[in-house]
Chain A
Amino acid sequence: MTTTLDFAPRPGAAPLPRMVLAQAGAEMRAMLRNGEQLLLTLIIPVLLLVGFSRAPLINVSGARVDFVTPGVLALAVMSTAFTGQAIATGFERRYGVLKRLGASPLSRPGLLLAKTAAVLGVEVIQVAVISAVALAMGWSPHGNPLWIALLIVLGTAAFSGLGLLIAGTLRAEATLAAANLVYLVLLGLGGVVFPVASFPEGVRPILELLPITALTNGMRSVLASGGGFPAGPVLVLLAWAVVTLAVASRTFRWE
């Protein structure tokens, strides 16, 4: 305890970009270091990709890997933006982390920006890993990458809104349970690996309105068939994003 420290006040906030970058970096490291998060964001998607591309479990026209990869990319977005973010944020609230950040110069919009940046950063890694594995298995992607980027950004917004809606209102344990349950249900119903066409005709219109189905269909229409601007899925994702983010910003409890 010999270090001399000058405690004389010199208060001042850092520039906003520096604060946002520092917080985003910390959040990204936290996501990549957490074993359960990695299981969710990388290991399960890659296992599904390899398993469903190899094994003759589903009946699709064309190469299975061309059908499965867009779905797995959509799943990756959902697992990071929705499941991972909801669980992490729920526990941050429980442990007073959000409260303590509220006493720092980083504003709430700044914190949300940082969280979004961290989610997008992890998604870049996911897309890189999943694409590499898929290409090694003979995947041949088509379409305009710009539409893919747009779908991923809108999907991220919609799933973040949904995740923050849950994390900001339920207790941390309830958030954990709800986020995992919703993830499993959407994984099963949203056309990720099981084609929506295999569900009864009557429920299909409802399934098409789920954010995961919109993202999966949009990704598939571009990547598998080289389709143009995916207007339907973009509209569905946009609606989910606007509604969930608006409700979450009203109901979110920081403590």
Chain B
Amino acid sequence: MPDAANTRPAAGADGTPAVEVRDLVKRYGRTTAVDGLTLSCARGRVTAILGPNGAGKTSTIEICEGFRHADRGDVRVLGLPPSDRSLKARVGVMLQSGGVPPAMRAGEWLRLMARFHAQPLDPAALLDRLGLTEHARTPYRRLSGGQQQRLSLAGAIVGRPELVFLDEPTAGLDPQARYACWDVVTGLREAGVSVVLTTHYMDEAEKLADQVIIIDHGRVVAAGTPATLTGAERQLRFRARPGLNLDELLSALPEGSAAKESPAGHYIIEGQVAPGLLATVTAWCASEGVTAEDLSIERRTLEDVFLELTGRELR
């Protein structure tokens, strides 16, 4: 595989991104599920649409897949309107749930999906890659939730698509199944496939995605690479006796630093984490007569970003 991941153009031969959504609105009766959403997913990259349940992820992705119709806005998939029939062979789809006849055997269904395509992957090899070989003859309804999800993922990629939509591919999976899924997504990216996935797991978005789009109440609240979203800023955290007076510490820290206690007994210092910081903090702790426990320097997580932007926890 060429290591084109970084040099590969973000647009297709025709200069369009994999997915482009502008001012999208979707209403169900009086519920506005998508409320003026604008986003763009680069070709050959993994884009994660991250948001809590009910944020409008499935509505957005299913409009891109052509299953639902937008009330307003413009959607282009590989430069085409979602209803364009030529997209069926070029785009792979994993629904949030269902899609397979309950009595059909796993291997039988995947072979059927492969028969719809001109140059499919070998269904047996794909089952093997996803750890489903022993279940090839098991009816879909007798598979565990995780096995059903993996089969559905296999069905999305068996036709060798150039773009895949994965709606919550790892929701409710055990760690092993989740790693199998991550492994496939990474493989797709290396092969130059564009991947658009939705998730409400921050660690998944952080680990897998080139680009994260955080949505809430049907709107984009932030977008960027995981690094730009979480910022270069680091935090120093430690635990100590609650109620320490932080003023004296602040005056010893460089300009622009912030210190807070949240929750009680948990201290967070934000700002430039310069080499001298650790010494300053431990010296201050010693002068206060406390021992700092669990002292660590960390980057902000997407969870922190989401909390800051919306004032709510992601889950």
Contact = CB atoms under 8 A, between A and B. Distances in A.
Main SS class of interface, A? loop
A63 to B, nearest CB: 41
A26 B140 CA distance: 14
Nearest to A1: B129
In this complex, which of B98, B126, B131 has the most chain A Cβ atoms within 10 angstroms of its Cβ? B98
Nearest to A2: B128
Interface of B: 1, 65-67, 85, 88-91, 93, 95, 97-104, 108, 112-113, 115-119, 121-122, 125-126, 128-129, 131, 155, 157, 159-162, 180, 183, 187-188, 190-193
Interface in A140-177: none
Given A1-B131, A95-B101, A104-B88, A11 B116 contact: no
10 closest A-B pairs (Cβ-Cβ)? A12-B118, A100-B99, A96-B98, A7-B191, A22-B115, A9-B162, A103-B93, A13-B89, A11-B90, A10-B160
Contacts of B115: 14, 18-19, 22
A23 interface: yes
A30 B95 contact: no
Contacts of A19: 115-116
Given A1-B129, A9-B162, 13 more contacts: A1-B128, A3-B128, A5-B125, A5-B187, A7-B191, A9-B90, A9-B161, A11-B162, A12-B118, A97-B98, A97-B101, A103-B67, A104-B113
A103 B126 CA distance: 20
Contact of B129 (A5, A92, A97, A102): A5
Interface of A: 1, 3, 5-14, 18-19, 22-23, 26, 29-30, 33-34, 91-92, 95-97, 99-100, 102-107, 255
- Identify whether the interface residues of B are mostly helix, strand, loop, or mixed: loop
B51 to A, nearest CB: 22
Given A3-B125, A5-B125, A99-B67, A12 B119 contact: yes
